[in-house]
């Protein structure tokens, strides 16, 4: 925002509200560029959409990403197809953001993850950071991208701390990263599930060598990095905090089987949410992926 005056934020509770990522911004940039809105998702999104058409670079913050569904029609039917229907002659630079995910014992509509829903419609890039370093780099890339990007936070990672350079830098959208080298099995995970994957890999060290890949972007998906790892390990477990049959995990599994079936020494396992509504509150731990479920899947595939 210091670098580019066309960047501004519009959304719910961004002037000093529930989450820490906008703290202090209204004091620095004023209410013309930190526009706190009522609970009116279609209205605030329309503000961002119109501003992007006029050359601004809005960041529209739904606070809880599940409430993007209240503005799903302009997001999925209009924003996603904007560049295509204009013959690639017009761009729509905007970032759609919000937090979601299990672990905070909130209401189910606050917790439900939407990264896979948005990724089903071509035209919007979708990313989810797992580390503070990636969060900054992906957000800068999203803001500088000339077309819409959905930047989804997992609630379980927003208070994480880690090394982050002061200077500006970009983490490229659509590029996965091998976060941990291993030789026995490939484990793909992002968001809070990346932290769970690290916990499992640490526990199994000396018994099973786990290679961890963080996709970072859900769309576009860097399947080549995953295939290269599977070619080395011969085994694959995918952890995705989403519904099993509608998940990025299912997409990854399908693409690996299509292209790299001969690389596999064992069936692929997916660790996801069962195909039921995600319950809020104290029921979340019974359905969301967790370290025990991930470890069981890894051991099963390696046997």
Q: Which residue has the higher pLDDT, 64 or 4?
A: 4
Looking at residue 105, its pLDDT comes to 76
The structural domain count of the chain equals 2
Confidence of residue 170 (pLDDT cuts 50, 70, 90): very high
Catalytic residue among 21, 110, 154, 282: 110
For the ranges 14-28, 68-82, 89-103, 123-137, the one whose mean pLDDT is highest: 123-137
Give the Cα separation of 10 and 150 in Å (integer).
15
Do 206 and 145 lie in one domain? The reply is no
pTM of the entire predicted model: 0.94
Q: Is residue 159 part of a domain?
A: no
Looking at residue 284, its pLDDT comes to 82
Is 294 exposed, middle or buried, given 0-12, 13-18 or 19+ CB atoms closer than 10 A?
A: buried
pLDDT tens, position by position, 40-60: 999 999 999 999 999 999 999
Q: What value does the mean pLDDT take over residues 59-68?
A: 92
Looking at residue 185, its pLDDT comes to 98
Do 124 and 41 lie in one domain? The reply is yes
Do 237 and 291 lie in one domain? The reply is yes
Confidence of residue 197 (pLDDT cuts 50, 70, 90): very high
Looking at residue 90, its pLDDT comes to 92
Tokens representing 260? 């790299």
Do 193 and 143 lie in one domain? The reply is no
Q: Is residue 80 part of a domain?
A: yes
Helix, strand, coil in percent for the chain, rounding step 5: 40, 20, 40
Confidence of residue 263 (pLDDT cuts 50, 70, 90): very high
Confidence of residue 151 (pLDDT cuts 50, 70, 90): very high
Given a contact cutoff of 8 angstroms between Cβ atoms, the answer to whether 239 and 218 are in contact is no
| Enclosing domain of residue 144 | 7-154
The residue whose two tokens read 């860097």 is 222
Task: Count Cβ neighbours within 10 Å for each residue of 232-269 and write b for 16 or more, e otherwise.
Answer: ebbbbbbbbbbbeebbbbbbbbeebeeebeebbeeebb
Do 15 and 141 lie in one domain? The reply is yes
The residue whose two tokens read 């229907």 is 85
> In the chain, pLDDT over 70 holds for what percent of residues?
100
CATH number for the domain that contains residue 223:
3.40.50.920
Q: Is residue 168 part of a domain?
A: no
Q: Which of 38-42, 125-129, 203-207, 282-286 has the weakest average pLDDT?
A: 282-286
Q: Is residue 137 part of a domain?
A: yes
Residue 189 has pLDDT above 90, yes or no: yes
Phi, psi (rounded to 5 degrees) for 150:
-95, 120
Residue 206 has pLDDT above 90, yes or no: yes
Q: Is residue 163 part of a domain?
A: no
Q: Is residue 1 part of a domain?
A: no
The domain boundary residue, chosen from 139, 154, 169: 154
110 tagged catalytic:
yes
């Amino acid at each position: 925002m210091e670098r580019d005056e066309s960047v501004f934020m519009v959304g719910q509770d961004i002037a000093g509200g529930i989450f820490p990522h906008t703290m202090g911004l209204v004091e620095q940039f004023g209410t013309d560029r930190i526009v706190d809105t009522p609970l009116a998702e279609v209205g605030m999104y329309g503000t961002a959409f119109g501003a992007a058409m006029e050359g601004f670079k809005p960041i529209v913050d739904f606070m809880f990403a599940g409430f993007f569904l209240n503005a799903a029609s302009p997001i999925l039917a209009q924003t996603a197809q904007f560049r295509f229907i204009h013959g690639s002659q017009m761009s729509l630079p905007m970032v759609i953001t919000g937090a979601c995910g299990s672990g905070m014992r909130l209401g189910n509509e606050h917790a439900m993850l939407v990264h896979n829903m948005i990724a089903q419609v071509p035209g919007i890039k979708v990313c989810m950071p797992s580390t503070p370093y990636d969060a900054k780099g992906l957000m800068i890339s999203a803001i500088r991208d000339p077309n819409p990007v959905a930047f989804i936070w997992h609630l379980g990672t927003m208070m994480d701390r880690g090394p982050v350079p002061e200077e500006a830098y970009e983490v490229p959208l659509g590029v996965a990263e091998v976060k941990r080298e291993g030789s026995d099995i490939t484990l793909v995970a992002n968001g809070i599930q990346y932290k769970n994957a690290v916990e499992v890999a640490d526990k199994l060290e000396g018994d099973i060598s786990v290679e961890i890949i963080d996709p970072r972007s859900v769309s576009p998906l860097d399947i080549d990095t995953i295939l290269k790892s599977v070619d080395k390990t011969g085994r694959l477990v995918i952890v995705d905090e989403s519904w099993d049959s509608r998940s990025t995990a299912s997409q990854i599994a399908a693409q690996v089987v299509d292209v790299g079936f001969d690389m596999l020494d064992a069936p692929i396992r997916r660790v996801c949410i069962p195909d039921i509504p995600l319950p809020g509150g104290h029921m979340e731990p019974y359905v969301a992926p967790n370290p025990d479920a991930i470890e069981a899947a890894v051991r099963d595939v390696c046997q």
